[in-house]
Structure 1
Amino acid sequence: MSDTSGFSVSKPVALWNKPINADFKELFKSLGKGVINGVLGHWGEVAKDAVEATAAIGLGSAPEEVAWLLIYRSLVEAIVSLVKGNQELLFEKPNKSDLDLLCDRLNDSLVSIELRIDQDFFSRPKDLPILEPIKTAFADWLKYFSVNQAQAQTISHRLPTYFVLALHEEWAKHPEKYACLKEELDTPFTQANEREQSWQRYLAWLQKQVEEPMLLEAFCLKQVYIPLHAYYKRKVAGEKSEEFKRRVREDEKYQRVVLDLKTELEAWLEKGDRHDAIRVISGGPGSGKSSFAKIFAANQAEKGKISILFIPLHHFEPSDDLVEAVGKFVRDEGFLRHNPLDKDKADSHLLIIFDGLDELAMQGKVATETAQQFVREVEKKITRFNRSETRLKVLISGRELVVQANISDFRQPQQILHILPYFVTEDERKNYIDEQNLLQQDQRQIWWHKYGNASGRAYDCLPEELNQDNLTEITAQPLLNYLVALSFSQQNKFPTDGNLNAIYANLLTAVYQRGWAGYQHPAIRGIEEKDFVRILEEIALASWHGDGRTTTVREIEAHCENSNLIRLLDKFQKSAKFGVIPLLIAFYFRECGVNEQEKTFEFTHKSFGEYLTAKRIVREVRLIYKKLKDRQNDPDEGWDERKALKRWAILCGASPMDEYLFKFVADEMLLQNVSDVENWQQTLWHLIGFMLRHGMPMERLTPRPDFQEENRQARNAEEALLAVLNACARVTETVSKIQWHTPEAFGIWISRLQGQRITINTDVFCLNCLSFLDLQGCVLVFKDIVQANLERANLKGANLKGANLVRAYLKGANLEGTNLEGANLVRANLEGTNLEGANLEGTNLEGANLEDANLEDANLARANLAQANLERANLKEVNLARAYLKGANLKEVNLARANLVRAYLKGANLEGANLEEANLEEAFLVRAFLVRANLERANLERANLKESKR
């Protein structure tokens, strides 16, 4: 067949004679009616007549007529998809008669267009000439519905990408209709086999993902995306002796080396080392992991050097066999007709991007266990696939904590890449090796310039009002920076205290009011703002009780019924005409498949769900306080403790709280009246005391779960009680005085909540919620309290003998008279802690921070204080006999009358220390720094002061 084969295509003559059925005028009119009548979420039905009319025309079999049918159908689907994706921006104008005139004019502008179909069309369908005038006409149509110039251009500019995907899907749905084109045109598209076509279609879908509109905006991710920087940890070269390893802190054994994330991963793909086939992207919530993964997948797929499969793990069902799980995923998604990992059909070079390791962990088993099993199955399959050559590579993204819990499985150099924020302060840059000077650039300025162009708001850089030190942490994070932009741009005000919950609250109000467009969304007309927020909270709760991100209409209705919100939900459904689905589609949600034959919806950003769930939890705390108070005032009113705890079990039992949700709860507490939080704190500590004596009233649940599930839910609810109590205490800075009915009650309870650590890197959430607790006299013998937050806790007289407090945070805690004999306090933060009279005999305090601590009369005999910071600590009359203080910082420490007999103080800093009447008999003070030290009447008999400076 000739290389110049092709033919001209215009609207068929038959179509000219029947414009009412199949021209663009009818399409634009149908879509316009959909907006005017509020037919939300049913755009496919709105445009169905326009599409079917084309098929009913009776077009001939001539290639040019068939080609027009293919193009027209694809254009209709593309335009419908764009309207559906931006429907929340469209608002009806009063004069409906103008719409007919507009549609006539738009159709007339397209009448004389002629196009040519040849090899280039299927190679580069985005370049189809008709797309430009249709983009212009479509933009004019959008402006009729109150979309501004910048928004209209941004939406219409995406038409080519949407058209390409629609073209592939139309061809795949009706291959028999377009068979004649295969004979006329010799192109990779028309001659591709079924497998190749499915990959082409999937590539088009990947391109569309990065061009879908962002929350509340017309522009897409691709238009405002900023290339991310990252770092990897590199071991410090040099001395590797046991002394070095013991002396240096773990995080000081590594350097943080900065790199460009995209460049690094492209080099990794190009290298093709079969022994280095996994890379991991680690970052906090909103750090840009998923955005990067989508952009990277789309870019690499477009290059065509390697097949790309992008798998959001919250849509993925893990199994013992990765091949089967991937096969089920591609079948359910419907793009690929084959499993790219099947033995007989496997692609020769494939990159799978698994996005959201932490989300996979929320589907049943313990989070870290599920993630670990998945990672090990991936490693096993990679080894099998790459036995002789590199055929499979895998890129995994996940939140920091779940990646950290699996760190033992990632040992290759540069295997874990930690995402950096848009901006790193000059002081923080000292912690990185940045040979390319990437951190010199403030990427926020670039993002705001792109955002100004895409949104039509004309920002050249980060606005001065937001360029404040207290907002740096927020504006430096991609998602939070975007939320700041939405809140700032749409309301022209911004909560300058940097509380993320205040930003979300602003956004909720903006969504409800739709003030920037002058219209309220049809789905909430007649609904008060408080009811709007209340329903969203319940939807978020349904999602949290599920897999943390998705939910169904049935689950929402069940939660609303349980919370006596059915009338309110009915009000929403009546307003929205088609039920709760339009509400979900319009606000923060997107449709994401089918579960048990019912549509499922997911939060567009997981943190929205966490914020709304936190609001729901605080709402319940407020209600519990009120109901218990009512019972106190009148025994016939309100709730007793068992009713309150039952409500709490229903609210917080189904799913465990984690540190991300807790942060939102803590920030929400900061927005409350402090006197209210004080009351809630007292209520919660009373409920915990009651619960420890009588147990959680799980027998009152209907239907009652089996024993194992009942026990799981009780544990979750109890942990949430502790966490929310701690959130209150952080606001009031008041010690929570729980009544422990026995000295061991707290230890038993915290062991139940803590469970078994799976790895040494596993963080235990409940241990971060122990600050401001009254633990006076509690028995915690040999307790695992690694990395616990015990800030300003009262541990007076507590028995912590043999307890493991490595890296614990005990700043300001009262440990007076505490028995810490043999405890492990390596690198613990004890700054300002009261340890007066405490028994620390044989305790390991290596590298601990004891700055300004009160250790008067404490027993530190045989304690290991190597590299400890004891600056300005009070060690008056302390017993440090045979203590190990090598390299310790004892600057300006009060050691008057202290017992330092045979203490090891090699290289210790004792500058300005008070050693008056201290007993340093046989102490080892080689190379010690004793400048300005007060050694009056000190006993230095047989002390070794070689090379010391006095």
Structure 2
Amino acid sequence: MSNISGFSVSKPVALWNKPIKADFKELFKSLGKGVIDGVLGKWEEVAKDAVEATAALGIATAPEEVAWLLIYRSLVEAIVSLVKGNQELLFAEPNQSDFELLCDRLNHSLESIELHIDQDFFSRPKDLPILEAIKTAFADWLKYFSVNQAQALTISHRLPTYFVYALHEEWAKHPEKYACLKEELDTPFTQANEREQSCQRYLAWLQKQVDEPMFLEAFGLKQVYVPLHAYYKQKVGGEKEEEFERRMREDEKYQRIVLDLETELEAWLEKGDRHDAIRVISGGPGSGKSSFVKIFAANQAEKGKIPVLFIPLHHFEPSNDLVEAVGKFVRDDTSLRHNPLDKHKADSRLLIIFDGLDELAMQGKIATEIAQQFVREVQRKVERFNVRETCLQVLISGRELVVQANSSDFRQPQQILHILPYFVTEDERKNYIDDQKLLQQDQRQIWWQKYGNASGRGYDCLPEELNRNNLTEITAQPLLNYLVALSFDQQKKFPTDGNLNAIYANLLTAVYQRGWADHQHPAIHGIEEKDFVRILEEIALASWHGDGRTTTVREIEAHCEHSSLKSLLDKFQESAKLGVTRLLTAFYFRESGVKEQEKTFEFTHKSFGEYLTAKRIVREVRLIHKKLKDRQNDPDEGWDEREALKRWAILCGASPMDEYLFKFVADEIRLQNASDVSNWQQTLCHLIAFMLRHGMPMERLNPRSDFQEENRQARNAEEALLAVLNACARVTKTVSKIQWHTREAFGIWISRLQGQRINTYAHVFCLNCLSFLNLQGCVLVLKDFFGVNLEGANLVQANLVQANLQGANLQGANLAGANLQGANLEWAILYEANLEGANLQGANLEGANLEWAILYEANLEGANLEGANLEEANLEGTILEGANFDGENLEDLNEGSDSDSDE
């Protein structure tokens, strides 16, 4: 090993009497030509040309020359990558002579810089002095292409992170070219073996992820990220465990303790308790959980104390053995050369971050089942690895519903951390214990200031136009707040009702106008906005029919062909395939791997796909209604019911709808004309009645699947019919009058849709879609309606004997004459419900809300009303013999009940 501690490095001027030009003029000219020619997917060729035109790698032999060429080539790759990632922001063909002068000037400002390479360089490559000078020159070059000052600085400031990653990549690709540096410099970088180098490359990649551009912006996540707050639930003492677990209103028995999320998790890592090695982050769509875990992974990688493995679960194939599954992910999706969980190669400490527990649902099994299996396998492996000391810690993020469904597996104190929004109103703060006063801070103001600086739009706080109470819920959520900013910047107006779909619609218009309305974007020429949106809907549908987030060009083409959109695809310049690829890379997609030897693309955020899929579903409802109406008016026109149901099965059969997609469907329907929604409601009622009599026409699908698959798809399509009907009813607030052909028909159908619960906390989607439904006279004996939503439903004379309605929402429901004998209505909401003449004999109404309920002549003999709220309830003529009350709700009883009750 050489004793030289370092050496000066400058651009080589000549070697063996042959000129070696390693100037930046050619680089800037090559990049400029790439922008002017619109090379799009050919930036790798630009990088290659720039390097080969300016640096003869095969000639350099002296360490200082080799070091310079390593640095230069890495800089080229970094700068090209930055330009490629921000190509949508670069416009205007520069004046050739002016551009030559600019390149000369930029090169002159850099050519005299001399570098000194020593042991510290490879430990802290971001501190390389030339980077500051190149950042300035690069920013000047960007401004020549109509990039504003703030954007140019934002892009150029990302250069060091990109350079470090490119340095690792270049060293790994051409180790033989830089062998002499290993002898000259004794650093962990230069002396690392192949495994260590792959780890260094991977950690550099993690740090680069948070610097990559967001959407069509110049900045990355890191530039606008605001540290998140969270809370954990702490049980309040004083109640027996079995009683506590039995009650529906659990939250009333918890304290919510507020904390800084990153500080909490760093303390957890530092403590390294082998008995407390799993943490879970829970949050809704767009709450910032994925952004947080990316930032956390990058920060831990930069600190270098504990190796980090980041696994997006929509790229992960779970199996019965976690070690094998991680090994496959590492081989297919990372630069690592070893499985960090392999017992023969494992690190002494490892943090694995699994992002998106809910995304495991798209693997062909029941969502809750596969998530539960995964969680338990993680627990088993963590226990095995941590037998003697803490070797493995795991952080899991997921949407609220899937975390809640697995909450019984997470019982350690502070194990589940619930993400809080940017802003919590003063009234809501009363629900939290916030010793650090974190909730007093309105983090929206910080975000908008960062956004204003990074984008050059000059915001120093949340604009007054958006600082309204009816928009608080939206602007307080990280993703939605950002979409608000994009929409507001383009249109300087905003929907006042706070409908999320209106925000997304504004965003689509803003994006289209931003780059494509004047056909400046080469991806779309001659395509109108409505066609642009229509294509995106079909892309979203292809993703939903797949794994929920990713798709391929082939699948998109197939969907467009089936939906008669081939003519739209033909409007793309060059081949349709290249056109689709351009669209995907220009909109909110990114390449995500390979599927069946074809590149896959994924939505940058799952909510974009859900919104566009919802639009596609509502479009189909409109079309079905029109076609059925056409057939009524002319038997030679339109569709019959079987054709309509076939179309629906094709649209909604491949994948089940869930609460998140349903919310977008409901919001989209709210944006429609009220009379149209009322008509759709009637049409869907008719289709459901026809379907229950004749079945889903799965035999009409081509190609046909086997019976089991057809049955699965039919069930999904039927549930989607019910859900969309319910979305319409929630808008009209009128009862959906389905003509059940037998009294048992609904009960049989809902049992088929409902299936078997995996556990007590498992969410059953279809049971949330029964509000405003006509169930008059239906037989629902012993039905599992735990947590069901029957708000506003017509249950007159329905047979609900011994049905489980624990925690049910029956607000405003009509239960007149219904038989609820022995039914479990514990903690049910019966506010303003009509129970006139209902049989509630022996029913359990403990803790139920019967405020303003009509119990006229109802039979409550032997019912349990302990803790029930009977305020303003009408109990005239009610039979209360043997009913069980506590002392408090006796005071709420009206006069006129037939008998005294037993206390």
TM interval, shorter chain, is over 0.9
- Paired position in structure 2 for 1:719: 719
After the TM superposition, which residues 297-446 of structure 1 pair with which residues of structure 2 at under 5 Å, given as runs? 297-446=297-446
* 8 A Cα contact 2:519 2:526, kept in partner: no
Cα 1:854–1:122 change in 2 (3 A) is: same
- Paired position in structure 1 for 2:604: 604
* 8 A Cα contact 1:79 1:159, kept in partner: yes
- Paired position in structure 2 for 1:940: none
- Paired position in structure 1 for 2:530: 530
- Paired position in structure 1 for 2:898: 899
Provide the C-alpha distance between the structure 1 equivalents of 2:467 and 2:857, rounded to a whole number of angstroms. Answer: 50
Cα 1:64–1:260 change in 2 (3 A) is: same
- Paired position in structure 2 for 1:118: 118
- Paired position in structure 2 for 1:843: 843
For the residue of structure 1 that corresponds to 2:281, the secondary structure is strand
For the residue of structure 2 that corresponds to 1:80, the secondary structure is helix
Q: Is 1:884 paired with 2:890?
A: no
- Paired position in structure 2 for 1:277: 277
For the residue of structure 2 that corresponds to 1:82, the secondary structure is helix
Offset at 1:455? 1.4
- Paired position in structure 1 for 2:594: 594
Offset at 1:77? 0.8
Q: Is 1:643 paired with 2:643?
A: yes
For the residue of structure 1 that corresponds to 2:259, the secondary structure is strand
> For residue 668 of structure 1, what is the amino acid of its counterpart?
E
Offset at 1:3? 6.8
For the residue of structure 1 that corresponds to 2:593, the secondary structure is strand
Offset at 1:451? 1.3
Offset at 1:21? 7.2
Q: Is 1:47 paired with 2:23?
A: no
Higher deviation after alignment, 401-410 or 91-100? 91-100
Q: Is 1:668 paired with 2:662?
A: no
Offset at 1:792? 0.6
> For residue 488 of structure 2, what is the amino acid of its counterpart?
F
- Paired position in structure 2 for 1:480: 480
Offset at 1:464? 1.2
> For residue 49 of structure 1, what is the amino acid of its counterpart?
D
Cα 1:569–1:614 change in 2 (3 A) is: same
Provide the C-alpha distance between the structure 1 equivalents of 2:462 and 2:18, rounded to a whole number of angstroms. Answer: 54
Offset at 1:14? 3.6
> For residue 114 of structure 1, what is the amino acid of its counterpart?
E
> For residue 404 of structure 2, what is the amino acid of its counterpart?
Q
- Paired position in structure 2 for 1:220: 220
* 8 A Cα contact 1:536 1:612, kept in partner: yes
Provide the C-alpha distance between the structure 2 equivalents of 1:48 and 1:570, rounded to a whole number of angstroms. Answer: 32
* 8 A Cα contact 2:57 2:69, kept in partner: no
After the TM superposition, which residues 554-565 of structure 1 pair with which residues of structure 2 at under 5 Å, given as runs? 554-565=554-565
- Paired position in structure 1 for 2:25: 25
- Paired position in structure 2 for 1:490: 490
Deviations, residues 291-327 of structure 1 (Å, cap 9, x unaligned):
1101111111211211111111111111111111111
Provide the C-alpha distance between the structure 1 equivalents of 2:39 and 2:666, rounded to a whole number of angstroms. Answer: 40
Percent identity reads 83
After the TM superposition, which residues 751-900 of structure 1 pair with which residues of structure 2 at under 5 Å, given as runs? 751-889=751-889, 893-896=893-896, 898-900=897-899
For the residue of structure 1 that corresponds to 2:836, the secondary structure is coil
* Structure 2 unaligned spans of 5+: none
* 8 A Cα contact 1:780 1:800, kept in partner: yes
* Structure 1 unaligned spans of 5+: 905-923, 925-950
* 8 A Cα contact 1:20 1:26, kept in partner: no
Provide the C-alpha distance between the structure 1 equivalents of 2:578 and 2:356, rounded to a whole number of angstroms. Answer: 33
For the residue of structure 2 that corresponds to 1:786, the secondary structure is coil
- Paired position in structure 2 for 1:92: 92
For the residue of structure 2 that corresponds to 1:885, the secondary structure is coil
For the residue of structure 2 that corresponds to 1:337, the secondary structure is coil
> For residue 167 of structure 2, what is the amino acid of its counterpart?
L
Higher deviation after alignment, 405-414 or 34-43? 34-43
- Paired position in structure 2 for 1:160: 160
Offset at 1:33? 2.2
Provide the C-alpha distance between the structure 1 equivalents of 2:664 and 2:15, rounded to a whole number of angstroms. Answer: 58
Deviations, residues 565-616 of structure 1 (Å, cap 9, x unaligned):
1121121253889331111001000001111111000000110000000000
Offset at 1:617? 0.4
- Paired position in structure 1 for 2:508: 508
For the residue of structure 2 that corresponds to 1:268, the secondary structure is helix
Higher deviation after alignment, 503-512 or 127-136? 127-136
Higher deviation after alignment, 120-129 or 879-888? 879-888
After the TM superposition, which residues 570-585 of structure 1 pair with which residues of structure 2 at under 5 Å, given as runs? 570-574=570-574, 578-585=578-585
Offset at 1:881? 0.7
Deviations, residues 60-115 of structure 1 (Å, cap 9, x unaligned):
31111111221111111101111111122122346455433332332232222221
> For residue 898 of structure 2, what is the amino acid of its counterpart?
N
For the residue of structure 1 that corresponds to 2:301, the secondary structure is helix
* 8 A Cα contact 1:680 1:728, kept in partner: yes
- Paired position in structure 2 for 1:64: 64
Cα 1:239–1:809 change in 2 (3 A) is: closer
Cα 1:248–1:179 change in 2 (3 A) is: closer
Offset at 1:45? 1.8
Cα 1:145–1:801 change in 2 (3 A) is: same
Provide the C-alpha distance between the structure 2 equivalents of 1:710 and 1:148, rounded to a whole number of angstroms. Answer: 55
Offset at 1:52? 2.8
- Paired position in structure 1 for 2:694: 694
Provide the C-alpha distance between the structure 1 equivalents of 2:382 and 2:539, rounded to a whole number of angstroms. Answer: 39
For the residue of structure 1 that corresponds to 2:129, the secondary structure is coil
Provide the C-alpha distance between the structure 2 equivalents of 1:57 and 1:311, rounded to a whole number of angstroms. Answer: 36
* 8 A Cα contact 1:236 1:253, kept in partner: yes
Cα 1:546–1:577 change in 2 (3 A) is: closer
Provide the C-alpha distance between the structure 2 equivalents of 1:526 and 1:16, rounded to a whole number of angstroms. Answer: 56
Higher deviation after alignment, 409-418 or 31-40? 31-40
Offset at 1:216? 2.3
Offset at 1:819? 0.5
* 8 A Cα contact 1:514 1:521, kept in partner: no
Offset at 1:2? 7.0
TM-score normalised per structure 2: 0.97
> For residue 889 of structure 1, what is the amino acid of its counterpart?
N
> For residue 773 of structure 1, what is the amino acid of its counterpart?
L
Offset at 1:130? 1.3
- Paired position in structure 2 for 1:932: none
Cα 1:319–1:17 change in 2 (3 A) is: farther
Provide the C-alpha distance between the structure 2 equivalents of 1:339 and 1:252, rounded to a whole number of angstroms. Answer: 45
Provide the C-alpha distance between the structure 1 equivalents of 2:250 and 2:196, rounded to a whole number of angstroms. Answer: 50
Q: Does 1 or 2 have the higher relative contact order (CA < 8 Å, sep 6+)? A: 2
Offset at 1:488? 1.1
* 8 A Cα contact 2:522 2:573, kept in partner: no
* 8 A Cα contact 2:536 2:612, kept in partner: yes
Provide the C-alpha distance between the structure 1 equivalents of 2:356 and 2:517, rounded to a whole number of angstroms. Answer: 35
* 8 A Cα contact 1:573 1:580, kept in partner: no
For the residue of structure 2 that corresponds to 1:168, the secondary structure is helix
Provide the C-alpha distance between the structure 2 equivalents of 1:761 and 1:850, rounded to a whole number of angstroms. Answer: 25
* 8 A Cα contact 2:452 2:459, kept in partner: yes
Deviations, residues 890-924 of structure 1 (Å, cap 9, x unaligned):
6654331x1233x23xxxxxxxxxxxxxxxxxxx3
Cα 1:163–1:836 change in 2 (3 A) is: same
Offset at 1:59? 2.2
Provide the C-alpha distance between the structure 2 equivalents of 1:241 and 1:29, rounded to a whole number of angstroms. Answer: 72
For the residue of structure 1 that corresponds to 2:401, the secondary structure is helix
* 8 A Cα contact 1:361 1:367, kept in partner: yes
Provide the C-alpha distance between the structure 2 equivalents of 1:245 and 1:369, rounded to a whole number of angstroms. Answer: 22
- Paired position in structure 2 for 1:658: 658
Deviations, residues 492-544 of structure 1 (Å, cap 9, x unaligned):
11112111111111110111111799873221232111110000000000000
Offset at 1:54? 4.5
* 8 A Cα contact 1:490 1:516, kept in partner: no
> For residue 883 of structure 2, what is the amino acid of its counterpart?
A
Cα 1:100–1:518 change in 2 (3 A) is: farther
Offset at 1:57? 6.3
Cα 1:16–1:90 change in 2 (3 A) is: farther
Offset at 1:277? 0.8
* 8 A Cα contact 2:553 2:577, kept in partner: no
For the residue of structure 2 that corresponds to 1:822, the secondary structure is coil
Offset at 1:28? 1.9
- Paired position in structure 1 for 2:739: 739
